[in-house]
């Protein structure tokens, strides 16, 4: 498979705004799973590839449809949801709750919280990591004695491309 020849290159730029080549990110995911002793099975890898190829938040049923076209072997929703759970547990995929859709994490090689900017016009999303935001949430939560475990902020708006083309 062509992907196997791609070398993973962990990103060292803490302020990285991407982009990264999908094949390299999938290779990185495979190497992370290897290091952690967990299996990136063929289905899990295919779902990750599809999410990278899609370039926008993708729902489980769109994934099932894409898998069917790719493989002709139908895959049931529970199987796909289990694979997504695995990918999320490994930090390889994030769920955009407001869209009920999934995106691949840009930097699974490092622990981070996520700020998602979601375009209401074209549906594209961008993930940003911002240390200031993480600190702010932690400090605010601490003021009321709350201990956050998962911090995901979703911001709706219009992306630069849609603003440029006057789509909204």
Interface positions with Zn ion (CB under 5 A): 11, 16, 105, 114, 119, 121-122, 124, 159, 162
- What is d(CA 63, CA 53) in angstroms, rounded to the nearest whole number? 11
Orientation angle between helical segments 42-54 and 22-36, nearest 10 degrees? 150
CB closer to Zn ion, 20 vs 79: 20
Q: How far is the CB of 72 from Zn ion (least distance, A)?
A: 32
CB closer to Zn ion, 87 vs 159: 159
CB 92 within 8 A of CB 50: no
Q: How far is the CB of 127 from Zn ion (least distance, A)?
A: 5
Q: How far is the CB of 120 from Zn ion (least distance, A)?
A: 8
CB closer to Zn ion, 28 vs 159: 159
* Cα 127 to chain centroid, rounded: 8
57 is written with which tokens? 């938040």
């Amino acid at each position: 498979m062509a992907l196997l020849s791609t070398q993973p290159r962990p990103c060292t730029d803490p302020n990285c705004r991407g982009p990264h080549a999908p094949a390299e990110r999938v290779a990185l995911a495979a190497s992370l799973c290897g290091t952690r002793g967990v299996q990136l099975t063929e289905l899990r890898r295919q779902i990750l590839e599809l999410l990278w190829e899609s370039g926008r938040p993708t729902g489980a049923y769109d994934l099932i449809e894409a898998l069917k076209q790719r493989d002709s072997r139908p895959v049931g929703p529970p199987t796909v949801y289990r694979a997504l759970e695995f990918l999320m547990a490994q930090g390889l995929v994030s769920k955009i709750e407001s869209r009920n859709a999934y995106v691949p994490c840009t930097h699974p090689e490092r622990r981070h919280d996520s700020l998602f900017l979601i375009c209401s016009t074209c549906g594209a999303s961008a993930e940003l990591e911002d240390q200031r935001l993480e600190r702010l949430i932690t400090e605010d939560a601490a003021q009321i004695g709350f201990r956050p475990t998962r911090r995901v902020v979703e911001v709706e708006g219009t992306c630069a491309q849609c603003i440029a083309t006057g789509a909204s």
